[in-house]
A = this chain, B = another copy of it.
Amino acid sequence: MKIAVVGAISYPGSELIRLLVGHPGGLHVEEVVSVSAPGTLISDSVPSLRGYCDLTLEPFDVDALAGRVDTVVLSVPHTVAQEYVPHLLEAGLRVVDFSADYRLHQADLYDEWYHESHKSPHLLERAVYGLPERYRNRIPDATLVANPGCYPTCAILGALPLIEHDMVEPNSLIVDAKSGISGASKKPSEKTHFVAREANVTAYNVGIHRHTPEIEQELSVVAASPVQVTFVPHLVPMSRGILSTIYASLRTRTTQQELIDVYQTRYKAETFVHVLGAEEFAETKAVLGSNNVHVSVHLDSRNDRVVVTCALDNLVKGAAGAAVQNLNLMAGLPEATGLRLPGLMV
């Protein structure tokens, strides 16, 4: 599979290139595109790639891409993806889109949360939500994969077994997410200045973050009825990683062991989702740099609540690693090819 990465020096773009260096199944990055630094070496912008990927960044050109690759990964802002995708599909290219543009199935939901009209709503139906743990049967034949958001991946995988087993009140869900700063754009801003974030924790976009409807859509499909969540993201002083703490009220009494059993059964066959024991707590560093997800589930018996903590690396399982899963499936390869690696831990 010949791949172009558009937005190659963005965080998720260059992370994808990192993960594909030496991919044992033949996923190969043929072309790297950047509208901001065309004509320069990608390794000038991303020095870690020196000696591993020294391609020249190209401008965005659909025809050129169509002549050189068969699959395009888009790591561009939402609304930009909406412009690019129709042309790429017309040119016969398959697309994995990192933006939010094709994740929601309903255009009016998009318009409501993103405060503008979707430019290619007819493609929403065609897009497959690229969460293999839910849709791995549909991804192999997809031409347009909407790669999930990092927060939604963490929230959905954390809550999934509870919803599947109808164990919690559907509107009691609260997702308190703590994210590293690479979840924000690489574009410098006051909010992402080192000094602003070091030794600092804050919430933002309380109750109005755009990943909310994505979480609700996917959990509602599972519940087969509307699920609504209070989602509050926070910034914590680290580069990578999300820990989501999920609170929900239990419908019926259960035990700590039963909760763990439900999770372990659900994720037994999943390569990347690991369920921890009753005395353990998911931590972001255990999955750093890897495609792994660690989930711990605890019973708060005093209050008939369940507390789930779910950790992943927002740039890997939350973006580029999920994309490799999707690309593997689209290429007819085993989903985990090139991804079975432990986190850094230290």
Nearest Cβ on chain B to A270's Cβ, whole angstroms: 10
| Residues of A169-226 whose CB lies within 8 A of B | 171, 174, 176, 178, 180-182, 186, 188-190, 192-204, 206-207
Which residues of B have CB within 8 Å of A230?
A: 247, 300, 302-303, 305, 307
Which residues of B have CB within 8 Å of A197?
A: 194
Which residues of B have CB within 8 Å of A298?
A: 206-207
Q: Which of B181, B311, B343, B346 contacts A240 (CB 8 A)?
A: B346
Could you tell me if B345 and A14 are in contact, using CB atoms closer than 8 angstroms? yes
Which residues of B have CB within 8 Å of A300?
A: 206-207, 230
Please name the residue on chain B nearest to A205 by beta carbon.
B281
Could you tell me if A201 and B280 are in contact, using CB atoms closer than 8 angstroms? no
Please name the residue on chain B nearest to A299 by beta carbon.
B207
Could you tell me if B239 and A199 are in contact, using CB atoms closer than 8 angstroms? yes
Is the C-beta of A238 less than 8 angstroms from some C-beta in chain B?
yes
Please name the residue on chain B nearest to A285 by beta carbon.
B200
Is the C-beta of A99 less than 8 angstroms from some C-beta in chain B?
no
Stretch of A25-33, A49-57, A60-68 contacting B (4+ beta carbons < 8 Å): A49-57
Is the C-beta of A228 less than 8 angstroms from some C-beta in chain B?
yes
Q: How far is the CA of A52 from the CA of B343 in the complex (A)?
A: 10
Could you tell me if B18 and A344 are in contact, using CB atoms closer than 8 angstroms? yes
Could you tell me if B24 and A24 are in contact, using CB atoms closer than 8 angstroms? yes
Q: Which of B50, B180, B204 contacts A281 (CB 8 A)?
A: B204
Stretch of A79-87, A102-110, A145-153, A286-294 contacting B (4+ beta carbons < 8 Å): A286-294
Interface size on A, residues (CB 8 A): 90
Is the C-beta of A284 less than 8 angstroms from some C-beta in chain B?
yes
Number of chain copies forming the complex: 4
Is the C-beta of A243 less than 8 angstroms from some C-beta in chain B?
yes
Please name the residue on chain B nearest to A191 by beta carbon.
B188
Could you tell me if A195 and B245 are in contact, using CB atoms closer than 8 angstroms? no
Which residues of B have CB within 8 Å of A343?
A: 48
Given contacts A188-B189, A196-B194, contact A201 B344 (CB under 8 A): no
Which residues of B have CB within 8 Å of A283?
A: 47, 200-202
Is the C-beta of A22 less than 8 angstroms from some C-beta in chain B?
yes
Nearest Cβ on chain B to A265's Cβ, whole angstroms: 16
Q: Which of B201, B245, B315 contacts A241 (CB 8 A)?
A: B201
Is the C-beta of A132 less than 8 angstroms from some C-beta in chain B?
no
Is the C-beta of A236 less than 8 angstroms from some C-beta in chain B?
yes
Could you tell me if B344 and A236 are in contact, using CB atoms closer than 8 angstroms? no
Could you tell me if A193 and B186 are in contact, using CB atoms closer than 8 angstroms? yes
* 14 A-B pairs whose Cβ atoms sit less than 8 Å apart in the complex: A47-B276, A48-B285, A181-B195, A181-B198, A182-B346, A192-B193, A202-B284, A207-B301, A228-B303, A230-B247, A234-B243, A237-B237, A237-B238, A240-B346
Please give me the 7 A-B residue pairs with the lowest Cβ-Cβ distance, nearest first.
A188-B188, A48-B345, A207-B300, A202-B283, A200-B285, A48-B343, A206-B298
Q: Add 18 more A-B contacts to A200-B284, A206-B281, A315-B346 (CB < 8 A).
A: A11-B346, A47-B345, A48-B286, A50-B274, A50-B292, A53-B342, A174-B247, A188-B193, A192-B195, A194-B239, A200-B285, A201-B311, A202-B283, A207-B307, A230-B247, A230-B302, A236-B237, A239-B346
